[in-house]
Amino acid sequence: MTPEPPPTADSNDGRGPAPLQPSFAFDNSYARLPERFFERLSPTPVSAPALLRVNRELADLLGLDADALASPAGIRVLAGNEIPAGAEPLSMAYAGHQFGGWVPQLGDGRAILLGEIVGRDGVRRDVQLKGAGRTPFSRQGDGRAGLGPVLREYIVSEAMYALGIATTRSLAAVTTGDTIVRETLLPGAVLTRVAQSHIRVGTFQFFAARRDVEALRLLADHVIDRHYPAAREAASPYIALLRAVTDRQASLIADWMGIGFIHGVMNTDNCSIAGETIDYGPCAFMDAYHPDTVYSSIDRNGRYAYANQPSIAYWNLAMFAQTLLPLIDENEEKAVELAREQLETFPETFQAAQLASMRTKLGLEGERDGDAELASELLGCMAADGADFTLTFRGLADIVEPAAEGTCPVARLFHSPDAFTAWAERWRQRLRQQPGGSEARRETEQVRASLRAANPACIPRNHLVEEVIVAAVERGDLAPFARLVEVLASPFEEQQGCERFMLPPRPDQVVRQTFCGT
């Protein structure tokens, strides 16, 4: 394995520059909450940390020196071997429903929050080390992460960011020089994860289960101040908080559906109160479209299948609303009624967000009756024939004008293209109803451009991610990882020489199951 070499610096012996030292402007609001919210502890040092990658663009956004992070001192921080000034390392307490089953205590079993930074954009973000060793919440686990899951989270989280999806991000990845035991012996690694916060529905459930109303109020107030300050001015701040979280989840799930993303483990402890995608375990992107698609090896009954994600988000929000009842009103019946009234807005909010997403993906301007049916018919054709999700939508830009018989590139994705061909003509009729839609070439090019801006050419297809992991874990080759991260940073561009990154897997490359890193 050839990790990224750190920048060189002469020792500070009076004859050269001082060694690079990372500097974090920490301001740790969560650490100022009562001690029962977390456990204070430092990461467990590793034997021989080495840098895999520093996300220079994200480092700059956070006001950090990427070269200092890549220096020997920076690598020690990223591995957990050294605590930077101003950090207050802790593991957060939370509970959760996992596949519908209640677990009263979970918590950060292998993650340690170093602290919070306010970036150049004015946004406060957590900086967390994932795979940093045992914590009081590890439950007999080793608290470590394998190289494969770390690479997967780095690749997919940064791809999601480039796709415009709300997500946690990856600041850096390092190897540890140590071996961890899973089904086999694997190289260890640590991911530096950045999030607007790591507060989850399960964080609220932890205190609700203990009937700790004071802690619930402190937590809700912290979330309002940090993420939803407008709720503070509402007549009922906690109903406003529920409304804001509901709206963000509706938008997030609609975005997932629009790119064929399947989270795989939508437990309440993986449902971010900030509305970001968090915890990229057995996640996957669909190749051939079918609403019942499941990849996660631990989702044996399809609870978190692609089409179930909206209803599961709704269920998770109901669990969140339940925790807020003591804060909403002293009268439990009234609190339940107020919470239910707010929760019932989710289906309509989600459907509106999903339809808006589909209109954009189809290049439709304005709102017309029949748009939802038009989108549903396309998905039905795709499901019936197993057409590739990403390529079908991307290919629409090539058929804004009818193709000659037998040459339609998108139709070739369908085993029986007649139904799609009929649908495509109805779609073109809808385009012609738009302002300027019946006019000539300029409008056609504008529609094509909007379609290409809405539908990615490249996604982190499962077989590509698997190739990267195998190359790194089995052969110590990190070049495929670096190349895939580079390509996925511009997902809407058809990059020269990157054709293979746009293709679906061959039959021998198909990945049928993805696995959780724990």
Active site residues: 269
Residue corresponding to tokens 């957990």: 80
Residue 308 sits at the vertex; the CA angle it makes with 102 and 430, to the nearest 5 degrees, is 155
CA distances from 153 to 67, 144, 182, 317, 349 (A): 22, 14, 18, 25, 29
User: Are the CB atoms for 298 and 516 separated by under 8 Å?
Assistant: yes
Q: Which is nearest to 278 in space by CA: 367, 342, 195, 340?
A: 195
Measure the N-to-C terminal CA separation of the chain; round to a whole number of Å: 23
- H/E stretch holding 125 reads strand 124-130
Secondary structure (3-state) at 434:
coil
Q: Which two tokens stand for residue 215?
A: 């802690």
- The token pair at 294 is 């499941």
Q: DSSP class of residue 180? A: E
Would you tell me the crossing angle of helices 371-385 and 418-432 to the nearest 10 degrees? 160
C-alpha separations of 127 from 58, 76, 170 in Å: 12, 15, 10
d(CA 195, CA 441): 44
β-partners of residue 167 are 277
Angle at 444 between CA 441 and CA 449, to 5 degrees: 125
Confirm if 77 and 190 have CB atoms less than 8 A apart. Answer: no
**SS3 call for 454:** helix
Q: Contact 258/251 with Cβ under 8 angstroms?
A: no
474: which 2 tokens?
């089995």
DSSP string over 37-72: GEEE-PPPP-SS-EEEEE-HHHHHHTT--HHHHTSH
Cβ atoms of 312 and 303 within 8 Å: the answer is yes
Are 156 and 173 in contact by the 8 Å Cβ rule? The answer is: no
Token digits of residue 270: 């993986």
- Which residue, 250, 277, 279, 284, is CA-closest to 167? 277
Pair of tokens at residue 152: 């997967």
How far apart (Å, rounded) are the C-alpha atoms in residues 266 and 261? 12
Contact 353, 250 (CB under 8 A): yes
Backbone angles phi, psi at 128, to 5 degrees: -130, 140
SS3 state of residue 409: coil
